């Protein structure tokens, strides 16, 4: 194969793989999350959020460049769309070899400017149930977009989304469609 064509071919395979990676979950209801501590919020239950569009993003810090790169978009989505019914929730999943401390997660969330609710997902219990168990996933920094009835309508399978890139534009379009009732 031509060496110049190989990177393009790999990008096509990656793009196709990411769609296949999420297709079995879109249109389903995720199970209730199992998280411990909440930052910037009282304890939330997924069941109690019916009527809202919910964007759930798993993140880790401080060494995840994808999480850091996506933080401005999450903050923007929260600020621009919260009055229209979007709730952004960050799910912290600890990857460091050091022990997990809630105050450290709060510091990370503050550094990223997160004012929306942040849950701590100990031992990745919810991440495993929603995303990892039974699947060979490429990313743990996944985002789920859930409609007002509690059904998954879109999944960004990981990596980053940054204002202006294609993934960011797709997410904005999906959020607006759900807020307008077009995807439900």
Digitized pLDDT (tens) for each residue of the chain, 184 residues in all: 444 433 333 333 333 334 445 678 999 999 999 897 999 999 999 999 999 999 999 999 878 999 999 999 999 999 999 999 999 999 999 998 889 999 999 999 999 999 999 999 989 999 999 999 877 788 899 999 999 999 999 999 999 999 999 999 999 999 999 999 866 5
Q: Is 131 exposed, middle or buried (0-12, 13-18, 19+ CB in 10 A)?
A: buried
> What is the spatial distance between Cα 65 and Cα 175, in angstroms, rounded to a whole number?
24
Q: Specify the pLDDT at position 13.
A: 32
Q: What is the pLDDT of residue 78?
A: 98
Residue 18: the pLDDT is 41
Residue 17, C-beta contacts closer than 8 angstroms, at least 6 positions apart:
138
Helix, strand, coil percent content, the chain, rounded in steps of 5: 40, 15, 40
pLDDT value, residue 21: 55
Please tell me the predicted confidence (pLDDT) of residue 16. 35
Q: Is 158 in contact with 165 (CB distance < 8 Å)?
A: no
Confidence (pLDDT) at 12: 33
- Bridge partners for 91 per DSSP: 58, 119
25-179 is classed in which CATH architecture? 3-Layer(aba) Sandwich (3.40)
CB of 70 within 8 A of CB of 139? no
Task: Identify the pLDDT of residue 134.
Answer: 76
pLDDT at residue 184 in the model: 55
- pTM, full prediction: 0.86
| H/E segment holding residue 179 | helix 166-179
């Amino acid at each position: 194969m031509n060496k110049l064509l190989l990177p393009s071919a790999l990008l096509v395979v990656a793009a196709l793989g990411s769609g296949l990676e999420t297709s079995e979950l879109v249109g389903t209801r995720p199970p209730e999350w199992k998280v411990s501590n909440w930052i910037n919020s009282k304890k939330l239950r997924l069941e109690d959020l019916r009527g809202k569009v919910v964007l759930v993003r798993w993140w880790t810090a401080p060494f995840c460049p994808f999480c850091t790169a996506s933080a401005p978009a999450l903050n923007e989505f929260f600020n621009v769309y919260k009055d229209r019914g979007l709730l952004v929730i960050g799910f912290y999943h600890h990857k460091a070899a050091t022990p997990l401390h809630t105050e450290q997660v709060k510091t990370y969330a503050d550094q990223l400017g997160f004012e929306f609710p942040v849950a701590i997902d100990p031992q990745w219990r919810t991440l495993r149930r929603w995303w990892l168990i039974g699947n060979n996933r490429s990313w743990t920094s996944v985002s789920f977009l859930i409609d007002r009835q509690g059904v998954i309508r879109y999944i960004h399978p990981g990596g980053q989304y940054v204002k202006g890139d294609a993934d960011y534009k797709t997410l904005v379009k999906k959020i607006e469609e759900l807020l307008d009732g077009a995807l439900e």
